[in-house]
Structure 1
Amino acid sequence: MPHVIVKIWPGKSEEQKQALAAAINQNLTEMLGYRDASVSIAIEEIDSADWREKVYLPDIENRPEQLYKKPGYSM
């Protein structure tokens, strides 16, 4: 624990995905105190044509209480 799933459109390089996973891992270990060995990170590529049905509706629109960064808003 924790397990992080990042959903993105296809097209990012393997190097970009590795860098993203490393940055997420670093933040989890430094900011929240998790041990590196307890962190797992997955990246799911979702085609833009499927985004609304597979991501927006189930993960964003139907779970607003879980969002800490909403689309369209700066942090």
Structure 2
Amino acid sequence: MPHIQIKLFKGKTEEEKQQLATELMKAAQKVLGLEDKSYSVAIEDFLPEEWKGEVYEKEIMAREDLLYKKPGYKM
């Protein structure tokens, strides 16, 4: 069961987040071929000042071996 987890800066509307979740699921379905009910999508908002410690260091750099697309920025 694929679970897609997105972390982004606060400020996106609920409609934008719902559209993102829908489009990500469609892309995953195209590749993996599973039904809608197989997917879950979570979106977590962060303030810009939280990003370095909570996301970049803990989720990106500390788990770099899991990345299929690395960020093009450094902090």
TM-score by length of 2: 0.89
User: Is 47-56 or 64-73 further displaced after alignment?
Assistant: 64-73
Deviations 1:8-56 (A, max 9, x none): 0000111111110011110111111121101000100011111111101
Where do 1:1-16 residues align within 5 Å? 1-16=1-16
**1:60 matched to 2:60:** yes
- 5+ residue gaps, structure 1, are none
5 Å matches for 1:1-75?
Answer: 1-72=1-72
Residue correspondences, number: 73
3-state SS in 1 of match to 2:72: coil
Distance in 2 (CA, whole Å) between partners of 1:50 and 1:15 is: 23
Report the AA paired with residue 9 of structure 1.
F
Q: TM-score, normalised by structure 1?
A: 0.89
Cα displacement (A) at 1:58: 1.2
Q: Tell me the percent identity.
A: 44
Which stretches of structure 1, 4 residues or longer, exceed 6 Å deviation after superposition? none
| 3-state SS, counterpart of residue 62 of structure 1 | helix
Counterpart Cα distance in 2 of 1:24 and 1:34 = 13
